[in-house]
């Protein structure tokens, strides 16, 4: 389970975030390309844009559920 105390600083403010467990697999960027981006230099993903539509919200939840190391968190509404 993701831990907001270890989330990356690049994450924009909001309920979804990526923490330091990320292994740079790119699955979240594939599931929710409008919301997740990769920091290629440091080798991890981060939330670049919080979901703005129900479709993006669903994609972010799909990314969270599909994360192999549970590095994506959701702090609720």
Element (H, E) at 58: helix 54-66
For the entire predicted model, the pTM comes to: 0.95
- Torsion, CA 42, CA 62, CA 31, CA 64, rounded to 10: 0
What length is written for the chain?
Answer: 77
Query: Tens digit of pLDDT per residue, the chain (77 long)?
Result: 899 999 999 999 999 999 999 999 999 999 999 999 999 999 999 999 999 999 999 999 999 999 999 999 999 76
CB neighbourhood size of 51 (10 A):
19
């Amino acid at each position: 389970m993701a831990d907001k105390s270890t989330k990356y600083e690049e994450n924009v403010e909001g309920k979804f975030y990526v923490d330091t467990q990320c292994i740079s697999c790119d699955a979240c960027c594939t599931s929710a390309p409008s919301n997740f981006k990769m920091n290629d230099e440091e080798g991890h993903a981060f939330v670049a844009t919080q979901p703005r539509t129900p479709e993006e919200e669903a994609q972010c939840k799909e990314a969270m559920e599909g994360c192999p190391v549970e590095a994506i968190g959701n702090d609720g509404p």
